[in-house]
Amino acid sequence: MKFLIIGLGNPGAEYEDTRHNVGFRVVDTIADAYGGEFSTERHGSVSTVRFKGKTLILLKPSTFMNLSGKAVRYWMDSENIPVERILVVTDDLNLDYEKLRLRGKGSDGGHNGLKDIQSVLNSTVYPRLRVGIGAEFGRGQQIDFVLGKWTEKELLALQEVLVKSQKAVESFCAIGLSRSMNSVN
């Protein structure tokens, strides 16, 4: 059984250590845990790993955040993976730092990457793991905050956040969305 795990972010060194790229960091963590290596493929960097007899295709779209849907649709079609076996991992301003939220449907919450995926899939029903980055910014500073680098304080907890996110992804693949939501949320 195959799963497509999409970590949202922006390609390029200037975005590498930003809050907006936490999705990339989560799929990197999973690849590292299972000996996966990323290669440049159409619409993204891709790594394939095995977990409990399942194939996890890890995707970091190269289409930039606001056009993530193009990469998601391409890899779903290319690998013949149904929507219930994809998981979009993204940053979320509406959650406190270190909090995770696993859902099977919902709004885009103002997130342009999710907005594009919903537009391309023509649905708000697809699994997503939201990783809280907090909202420690002043009025009008949202973009600078999201595209900003992690603070020293945030970096102290980041590895734990990444491991918790990895465990949430593994749970989703092993026991399904509903049961995983009970433990993750």
Active site residues: 20
Q: Which residues pair with 89 in a beta bridge?
A: 7, 129
Q: Check: CB of residue 40 under 8 Å from CB of residue 112.
A: no
Count, in order, helices (H) and strands (E) of the chain: 6, 7
Q: Check: CB of residue 69 under 8 Å from CB of residue 116.
A: yes
Helix residue spans in 19-93 (DSSP H): 22-33, 68-79
Q: Are strands 86-92 and 2-7 parallel, antiparallel or unpaired?
A: parallel
Q: Check: CB of residue 49 under 8 Å from CB of residue 4.
A: no
DSSP character at residue 124: S
